[in-house]
Structure 1
Amino acid sequence: MERRRYCAPYVGCAFRVVFTSHEELDAFLLHAKRVFIRAGNLSEPRWGVKRSLFRASHLDAIQSLCARLSIPLAFQVERLFLNALLFPPDVHDLEYFVSRSIRDRGEAATAVLVMNLAVSIQRTRAMHGTREAETHLDLRELWAREAKRLSHAKSTAEDPLSVGLGATFEVYNATVTPTRVILAGPVVDTSNRVLRAYPEHAHHFLRVSFADEDFDRFPVGRRDLREVDAESFVHERIGGILKDGITVAGRKWDMLAWSGSSLRTHQCWFSTPFVDDQGRRWTADLIRQGLGAFSEVERFPARFGARLSQAFSATAPTIRLRDEWVEVVDDIRSPTGNLFTDGVGQISPKLMQAVWLEYCRVKMMINERRREVLAAKVPSAIQVRIGGAKGVLCVNPLLTGMKVKLRPSMIKFSAPKHTEVEVATSSLHPLPTRLNRPLINALEDLGVGFANFLVLQRLAVEEVNQARLSFKAASELCKRYGFGTAFGSLAVFEKLQTLLGLAPQQLDATGILNRLIGTSISAALGDLKRKARIPTLGPTLIGVADEFGFLRKDQIFAQVEEKDGRTRVIEGMILIGRSPTIHPGDTRMVRAVAPPKDHPLMQLRNVVVFSCEAHGRSLPSMLGGGDLDGDIYSLYEEPLLFINRNFAPGTYKQPKNKQLNRTCKPADLADFFTDFVINDQIGVVSHLHLHISDRSDEHSLDPDCVKLASLHAQAVDFCKTGQAVHRRDMPYLPFRSNRPDYLAQNDHAPDVYKSKRALGRLYRDIAWTDTDMPLGPAQIWLSGDGDGDGDQAAPSATSDIVAILDAVGARFPYARPTSQQAERAIQERCTPLLRSFTYHLSRIAAWVPESRHTAEWLREEEIILGSPVMATTSKLKRWQEKLQSATSELVPILRHQLGVIVTGGDPLAIRRAGRTDLDAQLQHRNFGTGRGETYDETCRAALERAEAAPQHETVVERTGLVVDVDVEVDGERGRTALDRLGVEGELVPSFAGISLSEAKKGSGGGGGALTHENIDHDDDDDELEEIRGLFAACLLGAHDVISRSFGGSTFALVALGSLLNLIEAREKRLATRPVPLR
């Protein structure tokens, strides 16, 4: 049995049963009939040949080889065998190839080669099918081909997409299933405080997920496993790994901690010991000890884990705070002790601007070589981690200088060494508002009729189908459903219509753009049918507190930024709620009010401000137990959803935190994590609540539903209290009771009935045939060197992209490169970036769809939209999150590096620049372009003088907060750009008309008069260079031989988005530019 256990990770869920006679086979099939029907994997019996593929000597050889290699290389080697891409006997051939490659290229380059080999094998299987691929998988041939491709790059260190500024890292992933360990990565992902603390040792950290064989939730409590002691198995399988560690890449990895979101998805961080540059040895225990002082929670495993999780939250680093900038102020409470500022603090406009500029830099949201960096809009609120503090910082326009005010409710533990402002999210843009199944169920019980929901759903379906006819409608579709946010799909669609006057029908029906529209329509209709996520009027905003005492009870303030950049103050009665909604009192009618135009609240955008008037409970706490540490609230402005009266909010007794009689140890953390996997019942409680509500005449007011609402609140807090909701605590339904059709997601199952409630009728109003596109065989084309590793020939060009570029060139002739020689030169510089991007995208395509058939990849359009169109819909949200996480960090880097390369810059210089603090942020940064960034230099000079300048005026007005600072620069006076918030909250450069003298760097000469006119002239030259470069890069993605690999169309689409953005900005500026004064 131990030998079988040893083999299991390599064999996985595919195994062979050998019988000595037909009688034994018949008896086995008789008893296993039920299992085979469920699995659907019975094949005809055939004679077996003993191949000894998994003998102990082969497996020992794999472990021995991995132990001798570096972690990045060993990880990729073991991945080939654990992921069943090679059989263990191939280890001997592989060891020979790896040894030669290390000698010729080094270990880093060999790790990339092996990783690309894994992708190549998966590509071959995707093209030919798993069985047929066996005849195509010649290891020597595959190795030679990948080695040839890699020879085009000088070294892996020159990957232009591996240049994160601290906001991103390449993360290694392992998924533990009941039988296997599956490896993936590295994939670019958002970093956290711990990874940033050891940047040279990021490969010593491993993210481990626990899931079923099909990557769904770990099998606990499933109906078909009633005869299995699943809890004991989970304690053995998951608990054993958490306590004893896991062996990957020839090393033992120990449990470290988890983030709040990773706990909910059953993921945990592990580390293996390493020695830093100063000779200190770091283990998991030492890393945890260095995160802060946890004496107040060291007896509470759940709360201790929650405190540790703050350091593992996905954040972007910004500036370090000085002690004199930080102040702790009291929370606002009612006389009965209820909190009104739970998790929210204040920040001065000046400090917010400094934080935001650095955030944009590390997230590569802006191109620092362009003067538009100072016009980046500054949000009114950011969700942060600062040492042991967490929560939201909201701008207080009355605070001056560099100031941040924290509250006791934000400070969770002491971590004085960590003074960096780490940004998790911001209120830069409002989010769309959509209905969902629990909310519709609650609103129906509060008197909203089915006809109202049906009107909204049919309107949504009509708008979705309009995307086939109009790029503007396609843009709105992407915005409403959150598709393609990382790739900027909605901006591309919109500009195709506004700039070029194009419609989808004018482009190739099989091109990438029409495929994107078709996939987005299917995904949106599927979202409507499966989850009743109906778009509706109103924004979803981060909640903050009224620091000025303007709002009264049941009043809110919200000023949202519209699509055209204008702001709108919401007024009148509206419905407000927060997800999840399970109790009828979780949504409420409130009054949105507008303060006077000169009131400080008028400076806040894209946040919902709640009253702090001392009266009973705070409004956020009534909305499903919300607070202000980052919770988002939906404002429903659609009158069809308004209710006649507010139902009493739910009141739930807060369970006591589970406490030990001793200090918490790592084993206690492991026990809590395991207990969470077993008893994570939020989804079960919500599902059962809908089921009982549908069957009962009292609906959500049924006593069982009221009890489930209380259990739901307990389940939500389980991650902090350690008090689980057990199955025995829930109301029971009769065994094999019929289910409503909208919960079963199946119209023809024998135990399903047609629900008469609104959810059932809405579900049946959309046909299944509209919701899923037939996938068919994946289009896996040649891989970049044209050596014919596939049967399918790629199209000679991405015809829709080429047609669009022809339209661009005809309408804006300046966008075309000045000559074919210039175009080829730009494309030659962009080729390494394209090659790198296609490999990164291939890794994502091969990584995410493990839950599909093993021979399938994700399509480019699915990756771009961040929404896989899958038959197995239960895991749709999990894969959406995985896709969006993988692409949200990769695409901004690609976009930034495109801008650098096409203008002659060095894409690797940004990596050498390193991190900054506030002082360095105010310095000029030039990433090897050879040109003088005169505008940035001018602003830097002003900013340095502004630090010491006396502040003389603070004015709060409708047009924005102006904190005027008189500065003198070479005899001229003016306002500093850092100290002005414009009409829309943007940073306004206020140096137009200032005449300065500055030596132009890179010119080799002395100083000349630098005027506003020649600043504009220099900027025009740079802008045209970038526009023409992006035009050439877009053609490269559509035409070049390398684009015949998976990812060429996506590369072209990203370049096209940047190109259209620049052209639009240029056209607007040229249309409004005044005639210069002489």
Structure 2
Amino acid sequence: MENIVMHFGNQVSGDSFFVLWKQEDVSGRFDFRNEKLYFYFSHLSEEYKFEISYENISKIELYRQRGQATKFILIQLRGAPRIYVKDESDVGHYEWLHWPIYALCLELPKKMRLSKLHLDDFVHYKEIEGQFELMERSPYSCSSGLVPIVNPPTGFNLPYKILFKINSLIQHEILPGPTIVEDLYRLVDPTRIEIQYIESALDKLFHLKDYCYEPVKWLKEQYKGYASSTRFQTTRAISLDDGLVYIHRVQVTPSKVYFCGPEVNLSNRVLRHYPKDIDNFLRVSFVDEDLDKMRSITLSLRSSSENENKRTRVYDRILSTLRNGIVIGDKKFEFLAYSSSQEKIMFGCIRESLGDFRNIRNVAKYGARLGQSFSSSRETASVGIDEIEIIPDVEVKKGQVTYCFPDGIGKISAELAREVATKLGCSSVPSAFQIRYAGYKGVVAVDPTSSVKLSLKKKSMCKYKSRDTKLKVLAWITLLSNLGVKDPAFQEKQREAIYQLNAILTDPLRAQEALDMMMFAGEISNVLKEMLICGYKPDAEPFLSMMLQPLRASKLMDMRLKTRIFIPKWKSFDGMHGRNQDIGIWLILKAVDVPALYHMVDCVVFPQKGKRPLPNECSGSDLDGDTYFVSWDLDLIPPRDDRPMEYNVAPTLEVNHDVTIEVFSSNN
């Protein structure tokens, strides 16, 4: 394709397109083998390349206008295309740019033969005969950096939650931005319309998951129905269990921004301290266009002699967001230790309330310690400073390296453990808890003989000083082939797992075993087990069969995509050290019977003596909430015992001044 005019913007109705920008003299090609669409053009002396994968196209429509030779191809996108600009300093290399593009409209040359494009190959392709109008308008977003974000015109004072919903509808492409006019703002103004009508209508609109080209008309019809209905009920927020909160979330991609929620989140220390200001916090994440984690190449160019440490524009975008914050209506959210809050809450006061971090001079460690208070956690009991004891770490020096055996683990009394378990709603008392307390972090194991509520290690558990004495509890395959376990062993385990999964659709006993052993959690699993116990058969009871099929499909999908093979003789454990001194030490370990440790359930108890801590031999692991894979299946026991690698910590870089929050948004 040659001599195309490419229009960027939004479709605002079935026969009109809102143009934000256009580019002439564009060439393009369909790569059917790789299922990609490419466009090339020059702008302001720079060469650009557009790359659109077929799976990113939600629809393609060809508009033929009666009596006119000009044709238009409308391409509606699910996400932003990949846009590259040619780097003149590195011949043949393109830097990936990110522009906020929702749709493309291709104005085709009059003599172009459409048969060569093979548009019929697209599933969502259709041809439309009739008029098609291009309308050139100015951008509607109030921010040139984070787009699209809209604010109401002067004279409107919409509540934060309503404005957040309006922006979310635009960003998720349910409302085209150009349709947000003053008439619509009047229809979502609580001084004119009852707020329960507004919230109900906007929620309904979001769940339609389709384009709404006439939102003003649609809202009027909804309100008319609400007013005439005698059964209208306000949408009640689901009552949350203790420790859960509703919080708004923002996802910042390289080209766009998405408002989400409010969503249910496990609370943390800061949110619990400011319960009345919950709407003044945002949970912000920086993600790629597919909403997955960003890759390093997105932030910095491939190294070469010319651009070895050159940062990309995506990197600059992240820094800009950290420095300038996010503005939504009259609220400005600013950077706060991997979260954000409104200006009226003094950022410094919040940070000071978290603890004393002045002795931490390593920037990365400073950020990690601040982040401790933002870890999702459940607040349980108050434990006074006079109710804890500080116990020494067990250290062994080997050459120049000093090993800490009980790295990050302390003790909790049985009485306090029962209180915490009750607060968490546990049916039984766990053997260990991963905790945060007064600047301490790590795991505490239940000690039935202890009369002290908490016994903590100063060196391995204390990360900073804090006056907060609330005890907070966090939420609760080894490369065997490299150690000599042959592939047939894994293949046989896979065949056994597939046989087990197939059998659950016909054999009641196998189905019950699978529900017990394969960790199908939840109330529905209990219902299915009760039905099987009562004599219902999977191949005779439709409901039972219907529910078992997706469970089977889920496990098969895990096996196919993630190579997760169910092993009956295995379990996942938390790790901790033993107070008993008679446990031996092996790389391939031998289980020993220690009656003094019978109260420890679903835990691996490591020795606190030897040449080197066993957890440290496992990829440098410690005991701060790490989970261990343990199998007693003889087919998976490695025939050889390789010497573990050394995982010595590299020296940390420290600054010669207090670490300030501005360091995190600096370019250094």
Relative to the length of structure 2, the TM-score reads 0.75
1:90 to 180, 205, 226: 180
- Deviation by residue 1:236-261 (Cα, 9 ceiling, x = unmatched): 11111012111234422111123xxx
Instruction: Report the equivalent of 1:640.
Output: 635
2:578 to 546, 551, 576: 546
2:420 to 352, 355, 362: 355
Instruction: Report the equivalent of 1:193.
Output: 269
Q: Does 1:318 align with 2:380?
A: yes
Are the structure 2 counterparts of residues 20 and 398 from structure 1 closer, same or farther at C-alpha, using a change threshold of 3 Å? closer
Give the Cα separation in 1 of the matches to 2:187 and 2:216: 16
How many angstroms does 1:657 deviate by?
2.0
Q: Does 1:341 align with 2:398?
A: no
SS at match of 1:51: strand
Instruction: Report the equivalent of 1:812.
Output: none
Are the structure 2 counterparts of residues 656 and 178 from structure 1 closer, same or farther at C-alpha, using a change threshold of 3 Å? same
- Deviation by residue 1:705-760 (Cα, 9 ceiling, x = unmatched): xxxxxxxxxxxxxxxxxxxxxxxxxxxxxxxxxxxxxxxxxxxxxxxxxxxxxxxx
CA contact (8 A) 2:18 2:135 kept: no
Instruction: Report the equivalent of 1:271.
Output: 341
2:280 to 204, 208, 215: 204
How many angstroms does 1:135 deviate by?
8.2
- Deviation by residue 1:366-424 (Cα, 9 ceiling, x = unmatched): xxxxxxxxxx3111111111121111111111113x521011111111111x1111111
| Counterpart code for 1:652 | Y
- The 5 Å alignment of 1:628-1027 reads 628-671=623-666
CA contact (8 A) 1:77 1:114 kept: no
Give the Cα separation in 1 of the matches to 2:456 and 2:300: 51
How many angstroms does 1:138 deviate by?
4.6
How many angstroms does 1:176 deviate by?
0.7
Instruction: Report the equivalent of 1:77.
Output: 166
- Deviation by residue 1:784-824 (Cα, 9 ceiling, x = unmatched): xxxxxxxxxxxxxxxxxxxxxxxxxxxxxxxxxxxxxxxxx
| Counterpart code for 1:604 | M
Give the Cα separation in 1 of the matches to 2:374 and 2:171: 27
2:488 to 408, 432, 451: 451
| Counterpart code for 1:328 | I
Instruction: Report the equivalent of 2:5.
Output: none
Are the structure 2 counterparts of residues 495 and 15 from structure 1 closer, same or farther at C-alpha, using a change threshold of 3 Å? farther
SS at match of 1:345: strand
CA contact (8 A) 1:539 1:634 kept: yes
Give the Cα separation in 2 of the matches to 1:120 and 1:392: 42
Instruction: Report the equivalent of 2:604.
Output: 608
Give the Cα separation in 2 of the matches to 1:202 and 1:223: 32
CA contact (8 A) 1:73 1:114 kept: no
1:392 to 415, 431, 443: 443
CA contact (8 A) 1:326 1:405 kept: yes
Instruction: Report the equivalent of 1:294.
Output: 357
Q: Does 1:421 align with 2:505?
A: no
Q: Does 1:623 align with 2:618?
A: yes
Are the structure 2 counterparts of residues 447 and 164 from structure 1 closer, same or farther at C-alpha, using a change threshold of 3 Å? closer
Are the structure 2 counterparts of residues 662 and 19 from structure 1 closer, same or farther at C-alpha, using a change threshold of 3 Å? closer
Are the structure 2 counterparts of residues 140 and 55 from structure 1 closer, same or farther at C-alpha, using a change threshold of 3 Å? same
Deviates more, 1:654-663 or 1:65-74: 65-74
- Deviation by residue 1:965-986 (Cα, 9 ceiling, x = unmatched): xxxxxxxxxxxxxxxxxxxxxx
Q: Does 1:377 align with 2:428?
A: yes
| Counterpart code for 1:254 | E
| Counterpart code for 2:353 | G
Q: Does 1:533 align with 2:564?
A: yes
| Counterpart code for 2:264 | V
Give the Cα separation in 2 of the matches to 1:351 and 1:218: 42
Are the structure 2 counterparts of residues 322 and 504 from structure 1 closer, same or farther at C-alpha, using a change threshold of 3 Å? same
Give the Cα separation in 2 of the matches to 1:501 and 1:102: 60
Give the Cα separation in 2 of the matches to 1:622 and 1:196: 38
Instruction: Report the equivalent of 1:822.
Output: none
| Counterpart code for 2:588 | M
- Deviation by residue 1:567-618 (Cα, 9 ceiling, x = unmatched): xxxxxxxxxxxxxxxxxxxxx41111002xxx431122111100012x2210
Are the structure 2 counterparts of residues 317 and 650 from structure 1 closer, same or farther at C-alpha, using a change threshold of 3 Å? same
Give the Cα separation in 2 of the matches to 1:381 and 1:489: 28
Give the Cα separation in 1 of the matches to 2:656 and 2:22: 55
- Deviation by residue 1:150-201 (Cα, 9 ceiling, x = unmatched): 9857666x64x23442x10012111111121111111112111111111111
SS at match of 2:585: coil
1:117 to 204, 221, 225: 204
Greater RCO structure (CA 8 Å; 6+ sep)? 1
CA contact (8 A) 2:171 2:257 kept: yes
How many angstroms does 1:102 deviate by?
4.6
Instruction: Report the equivalent of 1:976.
Output: none
CA contact (8 A) 2:369 2:464 kept: yes
- Deviation by residue 1:107-155 (Cα, 9 ceiling, x = unmatched): xx46732541343332xx2xxxx5xx65899523564378569985766
CA contact (8 A) 1:71 1:204 kept: no
**Structure 2 gap segments, 5+ residues each:** 1-7, 30-37, 42-47, 63-70, 73-106, 108-131, 143-147
How many angstroms does 1:57 deviate by?
8.9
1:493 to 495, 513, 528: 528
Are the structure 2 counterparts of residues 18 and 65 from structure 1 closer, same or farther at C-alpha, using a change threshold of 3 Å? closer
Instruction: Report the equivalent of 1:506.
Output: 540
Are the structure 2 counterparts of residues 222 and 183 from structure 1 closer, same or farther at C-alpha, using a change threshold of 3 Å? closer
Q: Does 1:591 align with 2:590?
A: yes
CA-based RMSD: 3.7
Instruction: Report the equivalent of 1:517.
Output: 548
Instruction: Report the equivalent of 2:331.
Output: 251
SS at match of 2:134: coil
Give the Cα separation in 1 of the matches to 2:10 and 2:624: 42
CA contact (8 A) 2:441 2:463 kept: yes
- Deviation by residue 1:664-721 (Cα, 9 ceiling, x = unmatched): 22231235xx99xxxxxxxxxxxxxxxxxxxxxxxxxxxxxxxxxxxxxxxxxxxxxx
Instruction: Report the equivalent of 2:116.
Output: none
Identity of aligned residues (%): 25
Are the structure 2 counterparts of residues 469 and 137 from structure 1 closer, same or farther at C-alpha, using a change threshold of 3 Å? farther
Report the count of equivalent residues: 560
Give the Cα separation in 1 of the matches to 2:272 and 2:603: 30
Relative to the length of structure 1, the TM-score reads 0.48
- The structure with the largest helix share of the pair is 1
- Deviation by residue 1:850-890 (Cα, 9 ceiling, x = unmatched): xxxxxxxxxxxxxxxxxxxxxxxxxxxxxxxxxxxxxxxxx
Instruction: Report the equivalent of 1:407.
Output: 457
Q: Does 1:176 align with 2:260?
A: no
CA contact (8 A) 2:226 2:232 kept: no
CA contact (8 A) 2:301 2:311 kept: no
CA contact (8 A) 1:251 1:272 kept: yes
Give the Cα separation in 2 of the matches to 1:152 and 1:102: 23
SS at match of 1:594: coil
How many angstroms does 1:303 deviate by?
0.3
Are the structure 2 counterparts of residues 519 and 222 from structure 1 closer, same or farther at C-alpha, using a change threshold of 3 Å? farther
Instruction: Report the equivalent of 2:317.
Output: 237
Give the Cα separation in 1 of the matches to 2:300 and 2:664: 30
Are the structure 2 counterparts of residues 247 and 104 from structure 1 closer, same or farther at C-alpha, using a change threshold of 3 Å? closer
Give the Cα separation in 1 of the matches to 2:10 and 2:646: 48
Give the Cα separation in 2 of the matches to 1:146 and 1:600: 69
| Counterpart code for 1:419 | T
Are the structure 2 counterparts of residues 346 and 460 from structure 1 closer, same or farther at C-alpha, using a change threshold of 3 Å? same
How many angstroms does 1:506 deviate by?
2.7
Instruction: Report the equivalent of 1:277.
Output: none
| Counterpart code for 2:505 | R
CA contact (8 A) 2:333 2:341 kept: yes
SS at match of 1:221: helix
